[in-house]
Amino acid sequence: MFEKINQAIIEAMKNKNKDIVDVLRMLKGAIQLEEINKKIKLTDDDIALIVSKQIKMRKESISEFEKGNRQDLISKTQSEIEILNDYLPNQLTEQEVNDILDSAIKKLEVDNPSQMGLVMREVSPLLKGKTEMSQLSVIIKEKLSSK
């Protein structure tokens, strides 16, 4: 994945696409910083988590820009999110996420929202980087509340 990002930077530089170069350089910097902090070579899963964090940060920025009515910054940030989405693994469909959650709930035999942490612990390794984790907690809470 890291090599794919490096190649994309080179390609974007050749095509003189400054926006893509800027976003990918920021991503590359975040990956390298994480490698330095952890003192290990990151896996593709680790890199996918970093990409997810970058997207999440930009989504939070968009909500702040909306409060300030800064349409120029909103559209720029949205285009950055679109670029970063290309470097996420394929996202699971809503049905696939629900199937994994139903399976985990059945396996753990949980039936109330106070046990949500057990389900999250079970499914997080399977779903990290493949779905929106903030949405995941909402879905789990709904499923456990309806039991």
Q: What is the pLDDT along the chain (147 residues), one digit of tens a residue?
A: 899 999 999 999 999 999 999 999 999 999 999 999 999 999 888 898 899 899 989 999 999 999 998 999 999 999 999 999 998 877 888 888 889 998 988 898 888 888 888 888 888 888 877 787 778 888 888 888 876
For residue 131, the SS3 value is: strand
Stated as kind and residue range, the H or E segment containing 124 is helix 116-127
pLDDT for the residue numbered 39? 93
Instruction: For residue 47, give both structure tokens.
Output: 């890199």
pLDDT for the residue numbered 147? 61
Question: CA torsion angle for 126, 130, 136, 137 (degrees, to 10)?
Answer: 60
80/73 Cα distance (integer angstroms): 11
Judge if pTM exceeds 0.85: no
pLDDT for the residue numbered 142? 85
Domains, the chain: 2-85 (1.10.1510.10), 94-145 (1.10.10.410)
Amino acid letter, residue 134: S
Instruction: For residue 2, give both structure tokens.
Output: 């890291």
